[in-house]
Amino acid sequence: MSTTETALTAHLVMPDCYPGDALLHEIGEELRAHFQIVHPTLQVETGDPGHPCKLAGEHLV
């Protein structure tokens, strides 16, 4: 990475399960194609009610 590249860090809440590497690769390709983001870092969470995201509002989208 450098100061000339666009990066993104995001949390994906997927209650059913881990989506697999193929979906994460597809998301990365879409981010590159539509937003020129060349280095996404994606963290997948299951949305465990026992460990809710502290940044999520009442109406999580």
Half-sphere exposure of 26 (CA within 13 A, CB side): 5
Whether the Cβ atoms of residue 8 and residue 37 lie closer than 8 Å to each other: yes
Q: What's the whole-number mean pLDDT along residues 23-37?
A: 93
Q: How many domains does the structure of the chain reveal?
A: 1
Is the predicted pLDDT of residue 36 greater than 70, yes or no? yes
Residue 49 is classified by DSSP as: T
Is the predicted pLDDT of residue 61 greater than 90, yes or no? no
Written as six digits, the tokens of 25 are: 């690769």
Domain enclosing residue 37, as ranges: 1-61
How far apart CA 34 and CA 25 sit, in angstroms, is 14
pLDDT of the residue at 58 = 66
pLDDT tier at 52 (50, 70, 90 boundaries)? low
Is the predicted pLDDT of residue 59 greater than 70, yes or no? no
